[in-house]
Structure 1
Amino acid sequence: MALRVAFFGTPAFAVPTLKRLVHSHHAVVGVISQPDRARGRGQQVSDAPVKALATSRGLPILQPERLTRELFEAAFTALRADIGVVAAYGKILPDWLLATPRLGLINVHASLLPRHRGASPVHRALIGGDAETGITIMRVVKALDAGPMLSQVRLLIGADDTTTLVEAELAARGADLLLATLDEIEHERATETPQDDTLVTYAPKLTKVEGQVDWQRPAREVHNLVRGLWPWPHAYAFLADTRFILHRSRLSPRSADAAAGTILVASATAGLHVACGAGAIEILDLQLAGKRVMSARDAMSGPLLKAGARFVTP
C-alpha cells in the first residue's frame, strides 16, 4: 500500500529526493520547508529550492516559523502522514512531531554515520581529507543524528572534488536510497542497525572565521580547506592588508623552499604557487572582496601577487 509522506526539506540537496517521491507510487501529502529568507548578494527574498519545486507540482506547502504544538500541530496532524521524510530541513524536530506519523520519521543524512553527525557533513569530510563519504538513511530520534540506521551507500571522494560536486552526487544517490528504503518499510522488511557510539564524530555548522588559511599547515590540508569551504563560506588569505578569497586550488609540484605563505612563483605561464608548512599549492581561481572571481593568472596583472611576497599566517 502506498505511504502518505510528509516531506521536510529546504535547500537544493533535498530536491532530488522530493522529485523521486513525487514520481513514485507514494503520496506526498505535504511539504514542510523553512520560511522564505533574503538570499544572495542583493538580499532578495526568494523561494528556497524545495519550495519552488513543491509550488511547481502543486503540493501543499507549510512554512512554520516555529515547530511548536500551538503553531503547527493542527496543520501537521491534518496531513495524516504515515511517515515523515527529512532531507536537510534545517531545524530540530520536537518530540511531539516525531511521535505523530504512525511510522515515525526517517532522515537522508549526507555521511556514513556515525561519522559526521551534524549540519555540515560534506564540508567536514572534505576539510578532514576523508577518502569516502556516503548517505545514511536513519530513524529520526531526539538526539542529533543518533537514530538507528536503515540503509547506507558509499561514495569515494576524489582528491580535488569540491563540496558542490560531492553534494550533488550524494543528493542523487540519497534519492535512490530513500525510495528503496521506503519500499522496505512499506513491505515491513526494513531492519535497523544501532550506531556505534564509540565511532561518533561531529560536523558542526561552518563559520566564516574557519576560512582563514594557516599557511603553516601541510599543502594537502590547505587544499582540503579550499575545496571544502567552496562555495561557502570560502577559504581566504591576507596579503598585506588585502583579503583574497580562494575559490580553487590544487597541489603544486614545486619545492617549498621558502617560509610558509611565500609566493614561490607568480607568472602567466607557470601560475601562482604558494609555500605551505610542507609542500605547496597552486591557486587557480581567486577573488578580491567585492570583485568578480578571476583566474590567478589574470589576477597577477595587479601589483600584489608577485614572487617573494608573503601571505599572512594567523
Structure 2
Amino acid sequence: MTKLIFMGTPDFSATVLAGLLEQTDYEILAVVTQPDRAVGRKKEIKMTPVKTLALTHGISVYQPEKLSGSQELDDLMALGADGIVTAAFGQFLPEKFLKSVDFAINVHASLLPKYRGGAPIHYAIMNDEKETGVTIMEMVKQMDAGAMISSAKLPITDDDNVGSLFDKLAVIGRDLLLETLPAYIAGDLIPIAQEEDKATFSPNITPQEEKIDWQNSARSIFNQIRGMYPWPVAHTFLNGKRFKIYEAKETIGEGKPGTVIVKTKKELIIATSDGAISLKTVQLAGKPKMSITDFLNGVGRTIEVGDVFGK
C-alpha cells in the first residue's frame, strides 16, 4: 500500500481526495489544508471542504498558516510517507519536503504550460479560451513548472463559468489521477518536460481586475463576468455605489459605453464599445443578491435609459 500525504483546500481538492479514499491501494496518512477562515457577511469561521472530508474519515489534519519553517512541516516529514499529492493547496512546498518522499505530484486545472498559478480557470474563461483541462505533473520548486505526467482536455462553452468548470475539472482531475498513479508509481510513465517558451501565468485575481471597464467589448465583459462567477465577482458602480454583476449575457445594441440603452420590467441592457450586455443577476451595495427582474421591480425601478454605469 502506498502511503500518501494529501494537500488541498477547496471543493476541487475534496473531489480528488474523495477519489483516493475510495481506493484500497493508498493510505492517506495526513491531510494539509489552509487554516479555517471567516466567510460571508456574518464572518463565520468555516472549515475548508478538504478538512471537512478528512475529519469524516478520521484523518489527521494540519493547517499551518505557512508550511515552510513550521512545526507541522517537521511532523509531516516524520510520518514516513511514500508520496505527496496536491490539488489546489495554495502554498509553495519547501524543497526539503519534496525531497523527503519518493514522489510529489500536483493535479493542476489547466493544460500546462498554459496558465501556471492560482487562477487558471478564471483566466481561461476571461481570455476566451475554447478548451481547458487538467495536467498531472511532478512538483518542483518553481511554480507549476514540473514535468508533465498526463493530461485531459475539456471544451469551454459560453454556458460555463468558474463554478461549473471547477466542478467538471474536479471530476476529470480525480479520474485522471486515479488512472495515472499506478503506472507512474510503477515507473511505466515517463514525464515530459514543459516547454518554457510557451508558459503563461494566471496569478490570483486582483481587486482592479474585478472592475468592469465598459470601454471593452461585450464579449470581453461577458467573459470577465462569467470568469469571476461565483467568485470573486465582477463589479461596476451605479451612482457611486458598488454594483456586482454575477450573471449576464451578450446581446446586440449600440450606445455610449456604460449607458443604459434598454430598460423594461424584466431587462436592463448596457452598451459597451462593441455590442451590449444584458444583466441577469446583480447586487447593489447594501442589498441582497437578486435577479434583474426583482432588482428592476424594487430598488432599481428609478433607473432610466441614458443612466450611466461605472461612476
Normalising by structure 1, we get a TM-score of 0.94
1:230 to partner: Cα distance:
1.2
Q: Is the 8 A contact 1:114 1:146 kept in 2?
A: yes
For 1:310, the equivalent position in structure 2 comes to 308
Please say if residues 207 and 233 of structure 1, whose CA atoms lie closer than 8 Å, have aligned partners that are also in contact: no
Pick the aligned partner of 1:298 from 282, 290, 294: 294
Q: 2-side partners of 1:167 and 1:70: how far apart?
A: 31
Look up the equivalent residue of 2:109 and give its one-letter code: A
Q: Which residue of 2 aligns with 1:242?
A: 241
**Aligned-pair distance for 1:148?**
0.3
| Aligned residue type for 2:158 | A
Q: What pairs with 1:115-264 in structure 2 (closer than 5 Å)?
A: 115-252=114-251, 254-256=252-254, 258-264=255-261
Structure 1 residue runs of 4 or more that deviate by more than 4 Å after TM superposition: none
Q: Distance in 2 between matches of 1:292 and 1:172?
A: 32
Cα deviation for residue 243 of structure 1 reads 2.1
Do the aligned partners of 2:235 and 2:242 also contact (CA within 8 Å) in 1?
A: yes
Is the contact made by 1:239 and 1:304 (CA closer than 8 Å) also made in structure 2? Answer: no
> For residues 38 and 296 of structure 1, what CA distance do their matches in structure 2 show?
29
Aligned pair count?
A: 308
**Equivalent residue, structure 2, for 1:289:** 285
Give the secondary-structure state (helix, strand or coil) at the position aligned to 2:220.
helix
Structure 2 gaps of 5+ residues are none
How big is the shift at 1:304? 4.1
Bigger mean CA offset, 8-17 vs 178-187: 178-187
Match in the other structure for 2:22: 23
Q: What is the SS of the residue equivalent to 1:292?
A: coil
Counterpart of 2:39? 39
1:265 to 250, 262, 267: 262
In the alignment, what sits opposite 1:278? 274
Q: 1:303, CA displacement in angstroms?
A: 4.2
Kindly state the Cα deviation for residue 186 of structure 1 after the two structures are TM-superposed. Answer: 2.6
CA positional deviation for 1:240:
2.3
Query: RMSD over aligned Cα, in angstroms?
Result: 1.4
Percent identity over the alignment? Answer: 38
Q: Return the letter of the residue paired with 1:71.
A: Q
**Aligned counterpart, 1:97:** 97
Separation of aligned partners in 2, 1:80 and 1:40: 38
Aligned partner of 1:267: which letter?
T
3-state SS in 2 of match to 1:19: helix
- Rounded to whole Å, the distance in 1 between the matches of 2:101 and 2:18 is 21
User: Shift in Å at residue 305 of structure 1?
Assistant: 2.6
Distance 1:36 1:223, change over 3 A: same
CA distance in 2, matches of 1:284, 1:73: 46
TM-score of the superposed pair, with normalisation by structure 2: 0.95
Q: Could you tell me how far 1:37 is from its partner in structure 2? A: 2.0
